[in-house]
C-alpha cells in the first residue's frame, strides 16, 4: 500500500512539473498599417471629357482603336487603378449599357452582393449607374456615365494583388470617395 501511495505521489508530482508549461499559441495574422494622404483634387482634361482626380494619382491615356479611348487613373501607393473606357454614342447606347452591366456582373461569382445606384446630374447632363461589389471580387466598384446622346464613359476599380476585402476595405473606402468626386465632376467637352 505504501508503494502505491508513493507511486501516485510521484506520478502527480511529475504531471504537475511537466504539465505546467505555457503552451505557445499562434498570433492572429496581422496587416500592414495603411497611411492615407489628405484629400485634394485637381481638374484633368481628356479630349472628350474632364473631371477632378486626387493630387496623389496619375492620369494617362492609352489609345486602342480609332474611336475608342482607354485611360487609367493610377493610385501608385495603394496598388490600385481605375480603368476608364470612352466610347462615342452612335445609336448604340443600349449595347454599351448592357456591356457595362455584363462587366460588373462578371464578378458575381466571387461577390457577396452587388449594389446598383443610379446617378443623375441634370446640370452636367450626366447620367449613369454605380456598381458597388462587396466581397472578395477582383473589382470592388464599377460605374458608367453618359449624356445619352454622344458620350459614354465606363470605369472599373482594380487592385494589383489578391482580393481580400478585410485588408483592402480601408483603401476601398478611401478610393470610393475619390470615384464619387470623379463622377460628380465629370463634364463633357462638346
pLDDT digits (tens, 9 = 90+) for 181-190: 999 999 998 7
14-60 pLDDT, tens digit each: 666 666 566 677 777 766 677 888 999 999 998 899 999 999 999 99
Q: Which residues contact 169 (CB under 8 A, 6 or more apart)?
A: none
Q: What's the rounded mean pLDDT across residues 133-150?
A: 92
Report the residue count for the chain: 190
Looking up cell 482626380, which residue turns up?
A: 53
Of 51 and 111, the structure prediction assigns the larger pLDDT to 51
Domain-wise residue ranges, the chain: 46-181
Q: What's the rounded mean pLDDT across residues 107-114?
A: 85
d(CA 55, CA 41): 5
Q: Which one is the CATH code of 46-181: 3.30.1380, 2.60.200, 3.40.1000, 3.30.870?
A: 3.40.1000
Strand-pair category, 69-75 with 80-88: antiparallel
What does the pLDDT read at residue 66?
61
Amino acid at each position: 500500500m505504501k508503494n502505491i501511495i508513493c507511486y501516485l505521489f510521484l506520478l502527480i508530482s511529475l504531471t504537475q512539473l511537466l504539465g505546467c508549461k505555457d503552451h505557445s499559441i499562434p498570433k492572429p495574422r496581422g496587416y500592414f498599417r495603411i497611411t492615407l494622404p489628405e484629400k485634394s483634387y485637381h481638374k484633368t482634361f481628356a479630349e472628350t471629357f474632364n473631371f477632378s482626380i486626387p493630387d496623389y494619382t496619375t492620369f494617362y491615356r492609352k489609345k486602342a482603336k480609332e474611336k475608342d479611348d482607354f485611360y487609367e487613373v493610377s493610385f501608385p501607393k495603394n496598388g490600385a487603378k481605375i480603368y476608364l473606357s470612352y466610347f462615342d454614342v452612335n445609336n448604340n447606347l443600349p449595347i454599351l449599357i448592357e456591356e457595362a452591366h455584363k462587366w460588373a456582373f462578371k464578378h458575381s461569382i466571387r461577390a457577396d452582393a452587388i449594389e446598383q445606384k443610379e446617378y443623375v446630374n441634370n446640370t452636367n447632363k450626366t447620367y449613369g449607374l454605380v456598381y458597388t461589389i462587396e466581397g472578395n471580387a477582383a473589382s470592388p466598384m464599377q460605374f458608367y456615365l453618359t449624356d445619352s446622346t454622344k458620350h459614354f464613359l465606363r470605369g472599373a476599380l482594380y487592385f494589383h494583388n489578391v482580393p481580400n476585402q478585410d485588408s483592402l476595405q480601408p483603401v476601398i473606402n478611401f478610393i470610393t470617395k475619390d470615384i464619387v468626386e470623379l463622377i460628380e465632376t465629370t463634364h463633357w467637352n462638346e
